């Protein structure tokens, strides 16, 4: 199934499994076409059609988060945000590049949709700049990039002093998945954590015996030494390991 063409079927399937939030990328093709410098009324409406189908299928039982992959300029970002406001969007993620927090502050001020940033930032010092600029409503970090578990906890605690919630980014390998689950249990301002169905059901089990799988929208931190990971020995005994590239840089 493809999310864009089988939207209603996938949304019902997720709801049946207790999953109450979904993240989609409805502006990728347009950004590739225009370089993020222009979005036409027709392209705005095409993106909204996808969002409307999710909302019509799920009603208010599912939150919708949008990732814009930092591909837009500020005028386009504002135009997109204003078009989305009637649809109860959970957050707009990485709309702009993260090199100008004043522009993010303008975006956050000019829309009612929460602004979420960003797994692209590293260390608490970059996140401090973002918080001081009032550029964010939901803090997202990735443990593999922000500085690890200890740094993530410091970032979360700092965000908590601004009454800003935290949503760890986990689109990576199984050690990131385990680490993020454990970290989330120690946060006072934890909001939600994304998960990748294909990863934890089909990829991670190849390496790990005890992969945590969400049940009814919740996941339990594994017990045991360290992160509680039980590695399989078989992949490490093979000489034909395959490296999967998610994206070229």
User: What does the pLDDT average to over 68-77?
Assistant: 98
Decide the pairing of beta strands 63-67 and 89-93: parallel
Measure the CA dihedral 161/68/74/111, to 10°. -50
The answer to whether residue 79 sits within a structural domain is yes
The answer to whether residue 120 sits within a structural domain is yes
pLDDT in tens, 184-216: 999 999 999 999 989 999 999 999 999 999 999
User: Which residues on neighbouring strands pair with residue 115, listed in sequence order?
Assistant: 92
The answer to whether residue 128 sits within a structural domain is yes
**pLDDT given for residue 242 in this prediction:** 72
**pLDDT given for residue 235 in this prediction:** 85
The answer to whether residue 223 sits within a structural domain is yes
The answer to whether residue 64 sits within a structural domain is yes
Structure tokens at 185: 């249990």
**pLDDT given for residue 1 in this prediction:** 59
The answer to whether residue 138 sits within a structural domain is yes
Closest CA relative to residue 219, chosen from 187, 192, 188, 198? 192
Q: For residues 178 and 5, give the distance between their C-alpha atoms in angstroms, rounded to a whole number.
A: 32
Query: Cα dist. 222→35, 49, 90, 192, 212 in Å?
Result: 43, 40, 28, 18, 7
In terms of pLDDT, which residue wins out, 1 or 131? Answer: 131
**pLDDT given for residue 6 in this prediction:** 86
Residue 181's contacts (CB-CB under 8 Å, 6 or more residues apart) are: 193, 212, 219, 220, 221, 222
**pLDDT given for residue 168 in this prediction:** 97
CB 81 within 8 A of CB 107: yes
The pTM of the full predicted model, rounded to 2 decimals, is 0.92
pLDDT in tens, 140-176: 999 999 999 999 999 999 999 999 999 999 999 999 9
User: Which residues on neighbouring strands pair with residue 92, listed in sequence order?
Assistant: 66, 115
H or E segment at 55?
Answer: helix 41-58
On average, the pLDDT of the chain sits at 94
CA of residue 169 relative to chain centroid, distance: 5
Q: How confident is the model at residue 247 (pLDDT cuts 50, 70, 90)?
A: low
pLDDT in tens, 85-120: 999 999 999 999 999 999 999 999 999 999 999 999
**pLDDT given for residue 249 in this prediction:** 54
**pLDDT given for residue 230 in this prediction:** 95
Domain limits for position 209: 7-237
Overall number of domains in the chain? 1
Whether 74 shows a pLDDT value over 70: the answer reads yes
Whether 34 shows a pLDDT value over 90: the answer reads yes
The answer to whether residue 1 sits within a structural domain is no
CB 44 within 8 A of CB 79: yes
CATH number at residue 217: 3.20.20.120
Q: For residues 69 and 64, give the distance between their C-alpha atoms in angstroms, rounded to a whole number.
A: 16
The answer to whether residue 208 sits within a structural domain is yes
Closest CA relative to residue 87, chosen from 116, 114, 52, 61? 52
User: Which residues on neighbouring strands pair with residue 63, listed in sequence order?
Assistant: 21
User: What does the pLDDT average to over 10-26?
Assistant: 93
């Amino acid at each position: 199934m493809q999310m864009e063409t089988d939207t209603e079927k996938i949304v019902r399937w997720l709801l049946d499994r207790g999953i109450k939030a979904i993240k989609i990328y409805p502006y990728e093709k347009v950004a590739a076409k225009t370089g993020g410098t222009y979005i036409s009324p027709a392209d705005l409406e095409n993106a909204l059609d996808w969002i409307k189908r999710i909302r019509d299928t799920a009603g208010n039982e599912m939150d919708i988060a949008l990732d814009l992959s930092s591909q837009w300029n500020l005028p386009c970002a504002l135009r997109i945000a204003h078009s989305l406001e009637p649809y109860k969007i959970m957050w707009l993620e990485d709309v702009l590049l993260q090199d100008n927090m004043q522009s993010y502050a303008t975006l956050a001020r000019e829309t009612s949709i929460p602004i979420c940033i960003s797994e692209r930032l590293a260390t608490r010092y970059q996140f401090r700049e973002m918080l001081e600029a009032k550029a964010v409503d939901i803090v997202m970090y990735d443990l593999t990039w922000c500085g690890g578990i200890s740094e993530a906890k410091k970032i979360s605690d700092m965000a908590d002093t601004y009454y800003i919630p935290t949503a760890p980014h986990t689109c990576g390998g199984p050690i990131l998945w385990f680490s993020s689950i454990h970290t989330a249990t120690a946060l006072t301002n934890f909001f939600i954590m994304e998960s990748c169905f294909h990863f934890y059901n089909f990829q991670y089990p190849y390496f790990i015996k005890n992969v945590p799988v969400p049940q009814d929208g919740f996941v339990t931190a594994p017990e045991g030494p360290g992160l509680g990971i039980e590695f399989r020995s078989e992949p490490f005994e093979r000489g034909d390991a395959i490296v999967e590239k998610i994206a070229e840089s």
